[in-house]
Amino acid sequence: MKKIVSLLLAAMLLVACCASLAEVPEGYPEIIEGLDFGGATVYIYDWYSTGERETDPTDDQQLTYDYWDWLQETYNVTIVETALSDWTGNPEELQNMVMNHDDSKLCILGIGGGFAGPALSNGLYMPWTYGLENFNEATEDFMTINGVCYGVSGSPYVEPRQCVFFNKQVLEDANIDWEELYDLQAAGEWTWDKMEEYMDAVQQDLDNDGVYDVYALTGNGDDVLIGLVVSNEGDFFGFDENGKLVYTADKDNNTLEAIARRVEWGDKYMRPNENWDDYMRFWPEGNVAFFLGQSYEGFNGNSTVNGIERWGCVALPMGPAANRYTSAADNNVFGIPNVYDEETSLKLQQIYTLYRLPAPGLDEDSWSNSYYALTDDRAIEETYAMLRQGENATIMKFNYLGDRNSVLGSDIMWNLWSGTPAEVLEAARPAMENRCASFNGDTVAE
């Protein structure tokens, strides 16, 4: 009798298992056995989401909503993606949560990349071990200290930062076929020197009054600096053999070369600014050929670049030390607050990873649909598509210490004309060493 009962139970379990497997829609991820939240709510905290769904979703949005509904039903969980505070407030919320050992809510908490340093140095995030292959490697590398990863991105892709927008009309007026820029990029021949050839060709004083009527370049000077450094494979910091963050800029030939070029371009090609944001009014005037800025300033559709009718976009040109196109990515970071046990942390990693997967059936090119009304196909399919890949992203190490203004501003970025590049970078060393000591947990010299 016991044997018959056992066989019946085994058969029932088999049927239940087959039924469970049958419930997985085609293309959906395999069900993680044992993952069950018991009806709890998991919060994915950022500083920009509302937690609301579109009332009239597109087909792509509906595919995503259907997938999220399946996740919630399958794992007995409610997932709420919403703002916790603002951009500067989330790091403080994370710190308070950890200091108070507040595990009253299950959450994954996001912060801007420029705030990741304190989260790492103060142990605010738990190690992240699950599903790392599903996120972009640039953020994973950045969040890995001494071989342990502590956070991931919000997507397998990066948001490109610095790139070069160009005014097609200005180039045509100078008898330049703007398609040449894309061709050079595709051939791996879009370099600093090539861009200078074009800048020399377009810059003109039409009425001979000693003032240019057509300028070669505009943009936020800080973006020009960071863009040139990253496009020459330079950096301001590195890690030594003991895994400690150290200041390297004044010894790094790639960085020195980039800063020298930044000064040269500022003197020779850039339309002079009175205020740092003058480029926002210069570009729409239509008399500047190139704008070195961040991708969102064009591809968001309501930003500076769209102040002219016809524009294109190529990557930062490669410096002499580079053999790839890149940008200084600054991705948002998501991690598990260091308040849970390891089992809970793993469950949160698992559900977040599943949540961030592209919805099955979603067109892999859907990310670009809104861009085609803004610019030409090559800007989207050749430039943006390339730069959003993780291998073409560089997260510069000053992000461990803070945002670029607070770390590099007064000592380097806004002080470039106070001496030679070597002198400027050497003079900044004491301040930079103090910042590194703080990050490393060492005593800061008086």
CATH of the domain at 113: 3.40.190.10
Q: Is-contact 165 311, C-beta < 8 A?
A: yes
Query: Higher-confidence residue: 176 or 5?
Result: 176
- The pLDDT, as a whole number, for residue 444 is 52
Beta strand 106-111 with 41-46: parallel, antiparallel or unpaired? Answer: parallel
Q: Is-contact 395 138, C-beta < 8 A?
A: yes
Q: How far apart are CA 294 and CA 160, in angstroms?
A: 7
Same domain, 296 and 167: yes
10 within some domain: no
Asked whether the predicted pLDDT for residue 159 surpasses 90, the reply is no
Residue 7: which pLDDT band, with cuts at 50, 70 and 90?
very low
User: For the chain, what is the mean pLDDT?
Assistant: 92
Asked whether the predicted pLDDT for residue 23 surpasses 80, the reply is no
Residue 11: which pLDDT band, with cuts at 50, 70 and 90?
very low
Q: How far apart are CA 20 and CA 160, in angstroms?
A: 41
Average pLDDT on 57-65 reads: 93
Q: How far apart are CA 191 and CA 184, in angstroms?
A: 9
Asked whether the predicted pLDDT for residue 163 surpasses 90, the reply is yes
Find the length of the chain: 446
Angle at 61 between CA 55 and CA 65, to 5 degrees: 80
Asked whether the predicted pLDDT for residue 443 surpasses 90, the reply is no
Residue with tokens 């070369």: 257
How far is C-alpha 90 from the chain's CA centre? 18
- The pLDDT, as a whole number, for residue 113 is 87
DSSP state, residue 50: B
Of 389, 441, 354, the residue nearest 117 (C-alpha): 441
Q: How far apart are CA 182 and CA 312, in angstroms?
A: 9
Same domain, 289 and 190: yes
Average pLDDT on 201-209 reads: 91
Q: Is-contact 221 405, C-beta < 8 A?
A: no
Asked whether the predicted pLDDT for residue 180 surpasses 80, the reply is yes
14 within some domain: no
pLDDT digits (tens, 9 = 90+) for 385-438: 999 998 899 989 999 998 899 999 999 999 999 999 999 999 999 999 999 999
Count how many domains the chain has.
Answer: 2
370 within some domain: no
Same domain, 237 and 134: no
368 within some domain: no
- The pLDDT, as a whole number, for residue 366 is 85
Average pLDDT on 166-194 reads: 98
* Strands (DSSP E) found in 22-154: 41-46, 78-83, 106-111, 144-145, 148-149
Same domain, 61 and 173: no
Helices (H), 269-317: 279-282, 296-299
Same domain, 50 and 179: no
* Strands (DSSP E) found in 131-170: 144-145, 148-149, 162-167
Domain range enclosing 64 = 38-158+331-357
CB half-sphere exposure, 274, CA atoms < 13 A: 2
Asked whether the predicted pLDDT for residue 133 surpasses 80, the reply is yes
Q: How far apart are CA 228 and CA 254, in angstroms?
A: 10
- The pLDDT, as a whole number, for residue 330 is 81
> At residue 277, what is the residue type?
D
Same domain, 86 and 105: yes
Average pLDDT on 160-181 reads: 97
pLDDT digits (tens, 9 = 90+) for 294-312: 999 999 988 999 999 999 9
Average pLDDT on 350-365 reads: 93
